[in-house]
Amino acid sequence: MPVLNIVLVEPRIPQNAGNVARTCAVTGARLHMVGPMGFTIDDRKLKRAGLDYWHQLDITYYRDYADFLGKNVGPFFYFTSKGLHRHTDVSYPDGAYLVFGREDAGLPESLLVQHPESCVRIPMRHGERCLNLSNSVAVGVYEALRQWDFAELETHGQLTNYEWK
């Protein structure tokens, strides 16, 4: 299965991080949490949002963005409302890192301006700020997985009390 990496840079809201963790668990994506974070890892809200998926996660924590960069090489795709390209117009290769910024500020413009070709935007109405962080991650994850034809993921469900004809 191709490897997909999700990077949360300085997340602030534990429920968002928990929802992202759940998305990573059910899709097999690796989660990278970059500090400083606005909550502690043992935060009750974080665990509740991720429910019982924490044991299924491949998760790594980093002190700060410099620590993250020192241990990982791209390709990096920066999800931002300021991006020049639609998230569906780029190809996500095996090992791609989808990078998301904090809920109240996004990714620093000083980082974005250094990587204009890697800044992607989820289309939305003019004048609106952005989608919720966990929703944005889900959109990005499933676009990459769609491009990979949902490799090694179950694509057909089963009924519990009935059978499909």
Mean pLDDT of 138-144: 98
Residue 81 lies in a domain: yes
Task: Specify the CATH number for the domain of residue 125.
Answer: 3.40.1280.10
Residue 131 lies in a domain: yes
Q: Would you say 70 is a known binding-site residue? A: no
Residue 161 lies in a domain: no
Please state which of the ranges 9-13, 33-37, 53-57 shows the lowest mean pLDDT.
53-57
Domain residues for the domain of 21 are 4-147
Residue 159 lies in a domain: no
Mean pLDDT of 125-145: 94
Look at the pTM and tell me if it is higher than 0.85.
Answer: yes
Residue 163 lies in a domain: no
Residue 156 lies in a domain: no
Residue 52 lies in a domain: yes
What secondary structure does DSSP assign to 69-80, as a single string?
A: HHH----EEEE-
Give the pLDDT of residue 47. 61
Is 67 a residue whose pLDDT tops 70?
Answer: yes
Residue 13 lies in a domain: yes
Is 149 a residue whose pLDDT tops 90?
Answer: yes
Q: Would you say 6 is a known binding-site residue? A: no
Give the pLDDT of residue 15. 87
Per the CB < 8 A criterion, the answer to whether 61 and 54 are in contact is no
**């929802």: which residue's tokens?**
19
Structure-block tokens of residue 141: 């994850």
Distances (CA, A) of 6 to 58, 60, 78, 128, 162: 10, 10, 11, 24, 36
Q: How many domains does the chain have?
A: 1
| Interior angle at CA 145, CA 10 and CA 24, nearest 5 | 40
Please state which of the ranges 22-36, 47-61, 125-139, 143-157 shows the lowest mean pLDDT.
47-61
